[in-house]
């Protein structure tokens, strides 16, 4: 994978905007009139980006007179961030939060710093706390869910290692810790039940199995036994969070729409939101529930608006169109097929404009031929198939990183 692209997608440190784009800490705490001018001067000096060391000393002196004045503490945290002194920044933001429990700026950076340090459980707690204060930023819930997923994943990996090494008591404790984060995951309850059985804790094991069964939706009579289960996985819950019903609607739809596919792309590859975007004029997405995701895929060039500047969110996407979007994403991720040999497509000639894109997705195994043996570029894409395609591409990408 292109090294620069990898850095852009998976940067672990905070990416700071220009100073002028930062919020003035005074917006989260009222500044007394008698010190307003002094504080304004300190803020202006910070924006200039000159002599931060001297500004830090002046802020320390300012805080001796105005103890626990959280805008000044937050401002010191800003300076530490630009010095790439994360430890000092955490200390200042923690002090600011202690002085004002509703300081959303301090909360945000404490959460981001925890996430960057892979302290996912703490990050999730901080994002949740921030949600009670700031409901205007839709990405906070996504970040909280992602942190929960990663925190749980770390615990589960540790639990499975312990179980594999016959450290059953330790594994049990870790499974219970994971369940404290995602208490309604039937798979976790089932795993814990199996472990308790190995520990000869029959009554507890039976109780956990009953919980797992109670959390697993009953199959509809019309669904064949061979169909996939519709139980939400831990990954599903992590991607969709409190919008899990939208995922159900996509998964159960007979044909995937352009807005649904946009959402799938961003949910499986949330790092795309961090790439540089080119604003595009799109006139018909104001009322779409997937508006943020549409803006992302359009902004990075994965899906182009129509010539009349519309997106047509509810229009069904064809298999050929899907292949074109996937091919762009595959190239963006730096993936390439292990075998360049073409796959026979009786209904799609090499002279067709979509042929190269179809060959790319087929050779990577992200999409497959239909039972008839053809690709069917004009065919619709059922929701369950669209979700499966997203999972395949994500799995292929993850395997390429190892």
- pLDDT at residue 7, as a whole number: 31
C-beta separation of 376 from 370 below 8 A:
yes
- pLDDT at residue 302, as a whole number: 94
Residue 188, class by beta-carbon neighbours within 10 Å (0-12 exposed, 13-18 middle, 19+ buried)?
A: buried
Q: How far is residue 299's CA from residue 372's CA, in Å, rounded to a whole number?
A: 36
C-beta separation of 369 from 345 below 8 A:
yes
- pLDDT at residue 232, as a whole number: 65
DSSP code string of 5-59: HHHHHS--S--PPPGGGSPPGGGGSPPPGGGHHHHHHHHHHHHHT--HHHHHHHH
Residue 284, class by beta-carbon neighbours within 10 Å (0-12 exposed, 13-18 middle, 19+ buried)?
A: middle
- pLDDT at residue 336, as a whole number: 83
Mean pLDDT in consecutive groups of 10 residues from the start of the chain, 402 residues: 33 72 91 93 93 93 90 95 93 94 94 90 90 82 79 83 89 89 79 90 92 61 35 72 84 95 93 86 93 93 92 96 95 81 90 93 92 93 95 87 66
CA within 13 Å, CB half, 49: 9
CB burial readout 50-88, b (16+ within 10 A) else e = eebeebbebbeebbeebeebbbbbbbbbbbbbeeeebeb
Q: Which two tokens stand for residue 305?
A: 């608006």
Domain 146-215 is in which class?
mainly alpha
Q: What is the DSSP letter of 241?
A: G
Q: How far is residue 299's CA from residue 278's CA, in Å, rounded to a whole number?
A: 5
User: What are the start and end residues of each CATH 1.25.40.10 domain in the chain?
Assistant: 146-215
**CATH number of the domain located at residue range(s) 11-117 in this protein:** 1.25.40
Across-strand partners of 318?
380
DSSP code string of 96-124: HHHH-TT-HHHHHHHHHHHHHTT-HHHHH
C-beta separation of 345 from 322 below 8 A:
no
- pLDDT at residue 361, as a whole number: 94
Q: How far is residue 188's CA from residue 182's CA, in Å, rounded to a whole number?
A: 9
C-beta separation of 99 from 73 below 8 A:
yes
């Amino acid at each position: 994978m292109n090294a620069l692209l990898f850095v852009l997608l998976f940067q672990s440190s905070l990416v700071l905007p220009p100073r002028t784009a930062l919020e003035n800490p005074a917006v989260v705490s009222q500044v007394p009139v008698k010190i307003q001018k002094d504080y304004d001067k300190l803020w202006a000096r910070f924006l200039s980006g000159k002599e931060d060391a001297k500004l830090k000393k002046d802020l320390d002196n300012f805080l001796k007179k105005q103890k626990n004045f959280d805008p000044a503490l937050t401002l010191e945290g800003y300076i530490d961030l630009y010095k790439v002194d994360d430890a000092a920044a955490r200390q200042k933001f923690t002090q600011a939060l202690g002085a004002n429990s509703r300081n959303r700026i301090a909360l945000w950076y404490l959460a981001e710093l925890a996430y960057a340090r892979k302290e996912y459980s703490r990050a999730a707690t901080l994002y949740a706390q921030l949600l009670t204060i700031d409901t205007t930023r839709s990405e906070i819930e996504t970040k909280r869910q992602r942190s929960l997923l990663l925190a749980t994943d770390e615990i589960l990996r540790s639990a499975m290692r312990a179980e594999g090494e016959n450290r059953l008591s330790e594994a049990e404790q870790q499974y219970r810790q994971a369940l404290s984060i995602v208490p309604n995951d039937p798979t976790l309850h089932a795993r814990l039940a199996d472990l308790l059985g190995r520990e000869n804790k029959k009554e507890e094991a039976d109780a956990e199995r009953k919980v797992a069964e109670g959390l697993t939706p009953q199959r509809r009579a019309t669904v064949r036994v061979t169909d996939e289960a519709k139980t939400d996985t831990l990954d599903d819950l992590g991607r969709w969070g409190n919008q899990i019903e939208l995922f159900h609607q996509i998964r159960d739809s007979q044909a995937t729409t352009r807005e649904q596919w946009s959402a799938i792309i961003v949910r499986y590859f949330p790092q795309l939101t961090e790439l540089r975007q080119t604003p595009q004029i799109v006139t018909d997405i104001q009322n779409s529930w997937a508006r943020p995701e549409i803006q992302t895929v359009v902004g990075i060039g994965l899906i182009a608006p129509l010539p009349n500047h519309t997106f047509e969110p509810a229009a069904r996407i064809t298999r050929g169109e899907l292949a074109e979007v996937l091919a762009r994403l595959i190239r963006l991720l730096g993936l390439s097929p292990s075998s360049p040999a073409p796959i026979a497509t009786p209904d799609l000639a090499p002279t067709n404009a979509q042929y190269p894109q179809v060959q790319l997705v087929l050779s990577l195994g992200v999409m497959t031929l239909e039972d008839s043996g053809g690709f069917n570029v004009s065919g619709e894409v059922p929701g369950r198939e669209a979700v499966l395609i997203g999972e395949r591409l994500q799995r292929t990408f993850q395997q390429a990183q190892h």
